[in-house]
Amino acid sequence: MTGDGLISAYVNEAELDAEASVRPKRLAEFIAQHRVRDQLDLLLKGAMRRGSPPDHILLSGPPGLGKTTLANIVAAELGSGIRVTSGPAIERSGDLAAILTSLAEGDVLFIDEIHRIAKPAEELLYSAMEDFRVDVVVGKGPGATAIPLDVEPFTLVGATTRSGLLTGPMRDRFGFVAHLDFYSPEDLEALLHRSARILGVPITDDGAVEIAGRSRGTPRIANRLLRRVRDFAEVRAEGVVNRETAQAALTVYDVDALGLDRLDRAVLGALVDSFRGGPVGLSTLAVAVGEQPDTVEEVCEPFLVRAGLLARTPRGRVATEAAWRHLGRTPPNGTFGTDAPPAPDLFSASPDQP
């Protein structure tokens, strides 16, 4: 795996088994997201006392923060089965009807990237969520008939990385909506110690601090970096993950102290060296680094903006003073952000937004 894939927050199909091995199975084991965890605990315990399924649950937030893990935890806490699918996989309303009618009473249906579900399937889902009933249309034209089918009471858990793309009617049908925030360094360190125990990897406190600092506030990235540092420690060191081993390993994998990879640094380098800090248009910047514009916009820019290294302005992308200094350059007078106060620590602990 290259450095570019190493710090991507999106899941890699090849690492699903490795991810599953370190995922918490119960709410009490889930690290961080304290407010969301407490609210879910109340929701699930109240439903179990009443003997009825809990309200439908919507989880939003950037990739890699634990939405899929929480969906599986909901099913485990309820002691029910779970069916897993994704929005893009449901192309027709019949696909969704087949899934819904196969659910047992109390089951959890998890739909990842629910904002990408097809419109006909979304409209079918409305009646299933509210009335536990679906109308399947048989035939075409004037002779078409709608056959009502009852659905066993279930709980829908929807996950989305782009909650703004959800329609109003869909969002309104969720009784519980939670937003997952990025993890603080302290929470990532606790997560790394837990994962290391499960994987049988000796890790020191300073080793966990080093990996957490390069993980972009994302547990999926932290666990991935831990596995790569483990490989380095077993092959080229004494098998213990400490600060020196982590630094050496992540240098090999081209992940710097801020968690930037080759492409991130190429974007900043092009802005600073080729365009004197900007502003420059997205397409021009993408050509300069040899990537597609959507790759630069969707993969690189979110973290660079969040870290205070790049700014999006009406005239184009601009490198901030922090970007110049991170690359070891002296920012010229008038650089974007020169007179601005220091950026806050974006990964410090903050209340979760329900």
- Known binding-site residue numbers: 23, 64, 67-69, 130-132, 173, 183, 220, 312, 317
68 is catalytic: yes
- Distance between CA atoms of 115 and 87, rounded to whole angstroms? 7
Q: Which of 4, 112, 187, 352 is catalytic?
A: 112
How far separated are the first and last CA of the chain, in Å rounded? 35
Q: Cα(45)–Cα(201) distance, rounded to whole angstroms?
A: 35
Going by the annotation, the residues of the binding site for DNA are: 312, 317
How many other CB atoms sit within 10 Å of the CB of residue 276? 11
Rounded Cα distance, 11 and 252, in Å: 22
Cis peptide before 279 (omega within 30 of 0): yes
- Choose, from 68, 155, 160, 218, the residue flagged as catalytic: 68
Annotated binding site for ATP: 23, 64, 67-69, 130-132, 173, 183, 220
User: Cβ contacts of residue 260 below 8 Å, gap of 6+?
Assistant: 7, 268, 303, 304, 326
Characterize 76-105 residue by residue with b for buried, 16 or more Cβ atoms within 10 angstroms of its Cβ, and e for exposed.
ebbebebbebebebbeebebbbebbeebee
**Which segments of 23-140 does DSSP mark as H helices, in order?**
34-50, 67-78, 93-101, 119-131
Choose, from 37, 107, 155, 161, the residue flagged as catalytic: 161
- Answer yes or no: 112 catalytic: yes
**Per annotation, catalytic residue among 67, 214, 230, 265:** 67
Catalytic residue among 37, 214, 216, 220: 220
List residues with catalytic annotation.
67-68, 112, 161, 220
